[in-house]
Every structure is written in C-alpha cells, then in structure tokens.
Amino acid sequence: MNLAIFDLDNTLLDGDSDYNWGLFLIKEGLVDKKTHEDSNKKFYADYNLGKLDIYEFCEFQFQFFKNNSRQLTDELLNRYINEVTSTMITKKARQLVTKHKNNGDKLLIITATNSYITKPISKLLGINDLIGTDLEEANGEFTGKVKGIPSFKEGKIERLNIWLEKEKLSSKDFEKIYFYSDSQNDLPLLRIVSNPVAANPDEVLKEEAIKNKWPIINLK
C-alpha cells in the first residue's frame, strides 16, 4: 500500500482557502475592509516568500472565530464552502485523487490552513483524513489560540508522525509515500518522502524540483 499526501491550497485547490475566507468575510461586511484586506495581503505575501510567522498569522486569522459564536461561524462556513471553495477544486485535482483511490492508496491532506475551514473541503474531495492547524476550543467555542503544533513547514513532519502513531502505522508500512505540494514552505516534508511531486510549484520549489529531478505537474 502507498500513502498519498496532498497539500491543499494552490495544489488541489486553484487558490488559497485561507486568503479567500478573508475575502468572503470582507464581502459579507463582517470585518473592517481596509484593516483586514491589508493584513490578509501581507500575510499571504509573507507565505509566498517563505517567511510567514505562523503564530502571528493564526492570531490574526483566529480573531474572528474568537469574537463570534460557533453558531454564526458554522453558518458562514457552510456558505463559504458551497459558494466559494467548491468552485476552486480543479478537474485535474479530482482526477489525481481518484487515481490514487483506484490504486488502493491511503489518502491524507496536510495543510497549514486551519482544520475548521479545511475539513469540509477535504470531504468534498472524498478524502477522510486531514491534518490542519487546529483551533483551541473551550465549552464549544473557539478561544482564538492554536491547539498543539501548527501544520506548517517542519510542523507538517511532526504532525504526520503524530497522525501515523494514532493510526497505528509507520512510514515503513508503505511501499511509497507521495507528497504533492506547490510551495517552498513544504520543502521539509518533500525532502523526506520517497515520491515528492511539485504541483503548480512556486519558483523556489520549481528550482528545487528541477535540481532533484522531482516530477513537476500542473493541476490547474
């Protein structure tokens, strides 16, 4: 059996679910347009440059969840999934997921985006297992803090190992481990799997893939 791991944003999705969540909140008039838009753009630029402070970003991104009831955020998330992210899943991404399913591979999404937003997207893709950055909860409401280790950069390796242990698996149980990603931020995990694949890669990842003779694919 093989393990097929997928990044989500700009890999299986044509766009970034975190960034578009911010745009959705702005469109709904639920956050200050100027303040939120400027911060959203800054963090997204930092991510693309490989210099994002994940804790600073989470403090910004999770503030809305802290300041609003779970009932409201659940309603908004349902609309966001149906109106926005459902249209971001590409045909090629679905075909790739289906290919691995038909091969009998175990499928997993690992994303830096919070698991609250991304779990429903994972379900749309037919992938049951997802590792995302988790939001801390107290009495059914979000606190605005990160729970555990953010699944970002080296954190993706840590979270993968925790997941494998929970599933009573080890990397040795798989003949091949694929990891599909678009981002230089995922180089730590890409470098340790048996089958790294650069999907819609940024320039840094593209150069690394060429140097290491990793496959480069386009899922858009």
Q: How far apart are CA 77 and CA 71, in angstroms?
A: 10
> Is residue 5 predicted with pLDDT exceeding 90?
yes
Backbone angles phi, psi at 118, to 5 degrees: -90, -20
| Catalytic annotation, pick one of 7, 182, 186, 202 | 7
Known catalytic membership, residue 74: no
Give domain status of residue 133, yes or no. yes
| Mean predicted lDDT score pLDDT of the chain | 96
* Closest C-alpha to 96, from 84, 111, 109: 109
| Catalytic annotation, pick one of 9, 18, 182, 186 | 9
Tell me, what's the pLDDT at 27? 93
CA 37 vs CA 32, 34, 190: distances in Å: 8, 5, 31
Residue whose structure tokens are 């693309």: 48
Tell me, what's the pLDDT at 35? 86
Known catalytic membership, residue 9: yes
What domain count does the chain have? 1
Give domain status of residue 126, yes or no. yes
- CA terminus-to-terminus distance, the chain: 27
**Reported pTM:** 0.95
Q: How far apart are CA 184 and CA 204, in angstroms?
A: 6
The CA-CA-CA angle for residues 163, 166, 171, to 5°, reads: 60
Lowest mean pLDDT among 32-41, 78-87, 137-146, 194-203: 32-41
pLDDT in tens, 188-212: 999 999 999 999 999 999 999 999 9
DSSP 161: H
Give domain status of residue 220, yes or no. no
Domain extent for 59: 1-215
pLDDT in tens, 86-111: 999 999 999 999 999 999 999 999 99
Residue 79 burial (10 A CB sphere; 0-12, 13-18, 19+): exposed
> Is residue 156 predicted with pLDDT exceeding 90?
yes
pLDDT in tens, 113-144: 999 999 999 999 999 999 999 999 999 999 99
CATH number for the domain spanning 165: value is 3.40.50.1000
Q: What is the DSSP string of 31-95?
A: S-HHHHHHHHHHHHHHHHTT---HHHHHHHHHHHHHHS-HHHHHHHHHHHHHHTGGGTB-HHHHH
The percentage of residues in the chain with a pLDDT greater than 90, rounded to a whole number, is: 94
> Is residue 152 predicted with pLDDT exceeding 90?
yes
Tell me, what's the pLDDT at 36? 87
